[in-house]
Amino acid sequence: MEERNNLTELKARVNAVNMALGVMLTDLTNQAHAKKRSDAVAHLQALRPSFAGTPYASQIDNLCQFAMGDDYNAIKKKIHELATDMTRQITKDLTTNMNAIKALKKTS
Structure confidence at residue 99 (pLDDT): 92
Structure confidence at residue 90 (pLDDT): 93
Structure confidence at residue 11 (pLDDT): 92
Structure confidence at residue 74 (pLDDT): 78
The Cα–Cα gap between 19 and 80 comes to 9
- Within 8 A by CB and 6+ apart from 42, the residues are none
Structure confidence at residue 89 (pLDDT): 93
Structure confidence at residue 93 (pLDDT): 92
Structure confidence at residue 103 (pLDDT): 92
Q: Which residues of the chain have pLDDT under 70?
A: none
The Cα–Cα gap between 51 and 104 comes to 25
Question: Number of structural domains, the chain?
Answer: 1
The Cα–Cα gap between 61 and 63 comes to 6
Average pLDDT of the residues of the chain: 87
Domain that holds residue 89: 2-107
Structure confidence at residue 73 (pLDDT): 79
